[in-house]
Amino acid sequence: MNDSPPTGLDPDERAAVRAFLQRAEVRLSTVHRVATALLSGAGLMVLLPVVGRDAVAEVIRHIFTGTVDVPHVLLGVAVLVAFSVPVVSLVMVFRDLTEFYFHATHVQHAGEDTFAPRFTLTGLRLPADELGSVGRATLARERSSAGAVELLVPDNDAARARIDARMMGYGDLGVRPRGDVGKLDDDDGLTRSEPEPVGADAPGMSPPGRSRATAGDLARAEALFVLAASRDRMMLEEVAKVEYGLVRHVMRIQTIVLRYVKALFALLTTALAIFGAAAVVTGKPTIGAADDAWLAAIWMLWAPVVVMAVSTPVRWLDGLLRREGATANAVGHDMAFTQV
């Protein structure tokens, strides 16, 4: 007899829900593989030092050798501005990746609301409606066993103190150490961390030979579950969470991919300009008026070219939509696509 909580799902529907959750996990892992590839930033991280190590230093050195006047100062500023464009683009890529991998979780405790950062993938708990009453009781005993809890809360006072200090930053989340390290006040509904009775006769205990974690360690472990946004959910609640989470991942990763391509174009365009400027000054002890004119022309040409380069991916998307039959689109009005 199945005495699991009523969900209104027949066996076929439950099987469909499980299959969907499996497909969703595969989709999430694919998105995260894309993000990991971008995080490596192989192209940007390898090319940037090559561009900046010798060429920029040589151009700056020649510009400020000899008489330093307003034109030379402006040329030096132009070089620094040009070099800062790919640097800022790279920083923005890593900013977007950081925001992709982290999300805000809403922590409520003792009448206070706190937002805490967490990894974009939450912890998982077995849906409550997957087990009957006997299975749920057995799982509850296993979750409270010392061996399981010690994976989160090591059995030493130093580890407990570190966890307590961290939890206090979020309104303690039920962990309120007072007095000796590793002990919780009985007024908070938590017992001291002395060993509890072990054995089949103890209420809610694991089988003989198994020990139950102390109430204080259980509270600490539960607080860590809260920070990881790992909550008890029904199967359909898990489906809704995954659906919304997938949308968030897809919306963010498409922006990051586009930002990465823009940053790479900015880097390549700036590299060409810097190498061109280096070719003008290389082998000359000082630069003259003709060299100044060449440098000014290079940076005046670089400015519109880099704008065209970083907007090229957006034009590609616009062309893609038009080739597929779109007579009008809103790509140019979406800041997630157009922002450099």
CA 182 to CA 180: how far, in whole Å? 6
Please, are residues 171 and 107 in contact by the beta-carbon 8 Å criterion? yes
Does the structure show a pLDDT above 80 at 267?
yes
What are the percentages of helix, strand and coil residues in the chain, rounded to 5? 65, 5, 30
pLDDT score at 203: 45
**Average pLDDT score over residue span 121-140:** 88
Average pLDDT over every residue of 261-272: 89
The share of the chain scoring above pLDDT 70, in percent, equals 81
CA dist list (Å): 221 to 32, 210, 255, 315: 27, 18, 36, 51
Local confidence band at 231 (pLDDT 50, 70, 90 cut-offs): confident
Asked if pLDDT for residue 153 goes beyond 90, the answer is yes
Does the global pTM surpass 0.85? Answer: no
- Mean pLDDT (whole number) for 267-273: 89
Give pLDDT tens digits for 19-61: 999 999 999 999 999 998 888 776 666 666 666 667 777 888 8
Per the CB < 8 A criterion, the answer to whether 6 and 132 are in contact is: no
Check: CB of residue 121 under 8 Å from CB of residue 28: yes
Pick from 123, 215, 134: nearest CA to 177: 215
Burial classification of residue 34, based on how many CB atoms lie within 10 Å of its CB (0-12 exposed, 13-18 middle, 19 or more buried): middle
3-state secondary structure 41-62: CHHHHHHHHHHHHHHHHHHHHH
Beta-strand ranges (E) seen in 37-181 are: 102-109, 112-119
Query: For residue 201, is pLDDT > 70?
Result: no
210-215: average pLDDT: 82
Query: How distant is the alpha carbon of residue 183 from its chain centre?
Result: 35
pLDDT higher than threshold 70 for residue 188: no
What spatial distance separates the first Cα and last Cα of the chain, rounded to whole Å? 60
